[in-house]
């Protein structure tokens, strides 16, 4: 799928944007410019990491995700809670209260993403034993990371694990279960709704990648569900026990959870988009210890740090620790012989194609001329990266000028 047709989940409300330069400097892919008094997002460069939503002090950047009402069109509604949801509630000592609450707000069934995560963990252990795979294997669970690698680190494409993320596995298994229990339901009467900590999951569902089409129908914000739940959810008393995940599955909500579930200390786990980019650079340079597995989470502290969550990521992390304390390690219930091979359902074929996002021109000679111009222009610019011109740095302005998207007179310092 070409980048210009990629449907994003981060959008700008121009009426709220004051044209301040906060997001400009924080965008890790330099996808933002301030032109005509407000921000513009370059969709080809945006990786939906949500940094701009996090930093905007005017709430002008927002995540475009579905609403609970979007599920009304389905006869049978299934909720897929991401494990980070469990870390949002104060004084919660059992996951079952959350699952019960989801039924109370109108879902017919709940399928925990953490349950699917435990299956993915079991098969990842198997995947790492596959002959001929390229090491280190990079997790494909964070959609921001998968898109970032496709756009900026193409030489690492072969390292990305061809295993579907727990959300997709949960969607497939939940649908199978619904059809077994309710054979009277037609396919389009079953709706699968992912309760997401981040906008990137929504983009993943909307766009799929290469030839893969998502099994999720609607993605809704964790904070919307949180507010719907708190009035309906009980915190004590008897609830039907539904939870089918253990420590491993819930651990996926925080950085290192996926990696430690491999029961093997040859891993690296990094979180926060700047750290993720830095680690990818280091892998490309061949400058990391000889590890087998790399877990990268775009958000600080892992999925609990997503912009659609309610609670501070570290507080959520601590709550999850106490929720996990007395749980079995895993409840995947796979017999040893079922763990010897990876079922088709868990795998995908092709990654998105490499789309060099920074390339100046498709003609090498032309690119070289342009870069020579950029270098000359940088000597003329003040080099203080003030952002007043609307570009994140003097170098970025020089590039914009050479590409014909800005003028040297945009520099407010030279104007004086």
Residues at the site binding other proteins, with contacts judged by CB under 8 A: 152, 154-155, 281, 284-287, 289, 354, 356, 358-362, 364-365, 367-369, 371-372, 375, 399
Q: Which residues pair with 34 in a beta bridge?
A: 39
Least distance in angstroms from the C-beta of 154 to other proteins: 4
Least distance in angstroms from the C-beta of 250 to other proteins: 33
Angle (CA) 148-133-157 rounded to 5° is 20
Q: Which is nearer to other proteins, 281 or 380 (CB)?
A: 281
Q: Which residues pair with 268 in a beta bridge?
A: 294
Least distance in angstroms from the C-beta of 370 to other proteins: 8
The residues near 232 (Cβ < 8 Å, ≥ 6 apart) are 101, 104, 105
Least distance in angstroms from the C-beta of 337 to other proteins: 40
Q: Which is nearer to other proteins, 213 or 359 (CB)?
A: 359
Rounded Cα distance, 222 and 229, in Å: 10
Q: Which is nearer to other proteins, 120 or 283 (CB)?
A: 283
Q: Looking at residue 363, what DSSP letter applies? A: S
Q: Which is nearer to other proteins, 224 or 284 (CB)?
A: 284
With beta carbons less than 8 A apart as the criterion, state whether 163 and 116 touch. Answer: no
Q: Which is nearer to other proteins, 73 or 376 (CB)?
A: 376
Q: Which is nearer to other proteins, 49 or 149 (CB)?
A: 149
Least distance in angstroms from the C-beta of 336 to other proteins: 38
Rounded Cα distance, 137 and 92, in Å: 36
What kind and span of H or E run contains 75? none
Least distance in angstroms from the C-beta of 131 to other proteins: 24
Q: Which is nearer to other proteins, 75 or 369 (CB)?
A: 369
Would you list the DSSP string of 282-350? Answer: HHHTT-S---SEEEEESSTTSGGG-TT-SS-HHHHHHHHHHHHTTS-S------GGGGSS--GGGB---
Name the residue among 162, 157, 115, 126 with its Cα closest to residue 141: 162
Q: Which is nearer to other proteins, 67 or 403 (CB)?
A: 403
Rounded Cα distance, 327 and 323, in Å: 8
Question: CA torsion angle for 22, 2, 214, 335 (degrees, to 10)?
Answer: -100
Least distance in angstroms from the C-beta of 400 to other proteins: 13
Least distance in angstroms from the C-beta of 359 to other proteins: 4
Which two structure tokens, joined as six digits, stand for 59? 């709430």
Q: Which residues pair with 192 in a beta bridge?
A: 78
């Amino acid at each position: 799928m070409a980048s210009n047709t990629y449907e994003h989940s981060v959008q700008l409300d121009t009426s709220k944007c004051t044209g301040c330069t906060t997001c400009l400097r924080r965008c890790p892919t330099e996808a933002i410019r301030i032109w005509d008094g407000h921000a513009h997002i370059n969709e080809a460069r945006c990786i939906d990491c949500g940094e701009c939503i996090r930093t905007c002090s005017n709430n002008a950047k927002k995540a475009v995700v579905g609403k609970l009402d979007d599920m009304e069109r389905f006869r049978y509604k299934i909720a897929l809670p991401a494990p980070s949801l469990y870390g949002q509630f104060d004084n919660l000592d059992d996951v079952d209260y959350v699952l019960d609450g989801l039924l109370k707000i109108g879902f017919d069934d709940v399928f925990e993403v953490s349950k699917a995560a435990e299956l993915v963990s079991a098969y990842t252990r198997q995947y790492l034993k596959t002959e001929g795979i390229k090491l280190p294997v990079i997790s494909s669970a964070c959609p921001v990371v998968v898109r970032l690698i496709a756009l900026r680190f193409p030489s690492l494409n072969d390292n990305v694990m061809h295993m579907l993320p727990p959300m997709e596995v949960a969607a497939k298994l939940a649908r199978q279960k619904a059809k077994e229990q309710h054979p009277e339901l037609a396919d389009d009467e079953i709706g699968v709704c992912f309760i997401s900590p981040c906008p990137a999951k929504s983009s993943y569902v909307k766009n799929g990648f290469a030839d893969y089409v998502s099994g999720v129908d609607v993605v809704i914000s964790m904070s919307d569900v949180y507010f719907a739940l708190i009035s309906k959810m009980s915190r004590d008393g008897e609830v039907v026990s539904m939870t089918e995940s253990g420590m491993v599955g819930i651990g996926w909500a925080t950085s290192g959870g996926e990696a430690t579930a491999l029961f093997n200390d040859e891993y690296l786990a990094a979180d926060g988009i700047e750290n993720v980019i830095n680690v990818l650079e280091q892998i490309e340079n061949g400058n990391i210890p000889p590890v087998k597995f790399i877990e990268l989470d775009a958000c600080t502290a892992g999925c609990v740090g997503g912009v659609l969550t309610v609670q501070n990521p570290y507080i959520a992390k601590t709550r999850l620790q106490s929720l996990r304390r007395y749980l079995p390690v895993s409840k995947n219930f796979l017999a040893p012989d079922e763990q010897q091979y990876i079922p088709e359902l868990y795998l995908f074929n092709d990654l998105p194609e490499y789309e060099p996002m920074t390339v100046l021109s498709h003609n090498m000679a032309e690119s070289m001329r342009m870069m020579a111009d950029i270098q000359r222009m940088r000597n003329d610019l003040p080099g203080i990266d003030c952002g007043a011109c609307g570009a994140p740095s003097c170098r970025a302005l020089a590039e914009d000028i050479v590409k014909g998207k800005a003028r040297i007179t945009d520099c407010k310092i030279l104007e004086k």
